[in-house]
Structure 1
Amino acid sequence: MLMGTFRLLRAYEPADGGYRILVDRLWPRGLSKERAAIDDWAKDAAPSTPLRVAFSHKAERFTEFTDHYRQELEIGSAADGAERLLGLADEHEDVVLVYAARDTVHNHAVVLIDFLIKAQQAA
């Protein structure tokens, strides 16, 4: 059984191979579908709209956001999406989680990739 690796890439960076999955709930502003080169869109793995709005990309809210988003990934609205991403890693060697946030440290994709890697290790 193949266990692909996950990595992150901002949507505005040039595509560099891999199976590219947009993990944002909303399409990145100003980005054409051709330039994005997205293979799949995992809206269901993104934070819920209320959680995304409450976080509002404020670094000082990141710890609280992380706790709530992990709950969504484990048993909440994003759990099915996370399972689907893990399944895609069984089908593809290089899985690129594409996100649009400017802050490369305090964003949902950082939480998501950490969650997915730990889930792979536990399997």
Structure 2
Amino acid sequence: MNRGNAGLNYYALQQLELAPRDTVLEVGFGGGVLLPMLMARAAVVHGVDRSADVVAAARRKFNREVRSGKASFDKVPLNACPSPTLQSRRSAFTPSTSGAVSKMACCNSRG
């Protein structure tokens, strides 16, 4: 998936026009190819994925960023989405993702 989606992911990253004060939610981050670039451009990056293995790997790889509060990674099941349409788009719903997000399909908030 990372290689197959690389072009689209990089395009989306450019379109975000992130500022250093921004908080970003990366939904379905998979192998985490964009995570370092997001962390370099935004104040905080929250990642959610349906795979416990992927979440654990991101927490290990970005341990320093997690400890400093720059990043957080959480497992969110697809069946917790508020609608089947969102579920099919790999979006997620959770009562609290690191206390920052309550409901999302995709999120990029300006501070």
TM-score of the two chains, using structure 1 as the length reference: 0.31
Say which structure is richer in strand.
2
**Highest RCO, 1 vs 2 (Cα 8 Å, sep ≥ 6):** 1
TM-score by length of 2: 0.34
Q: Larger Rg: 1 or 2?
A: 1
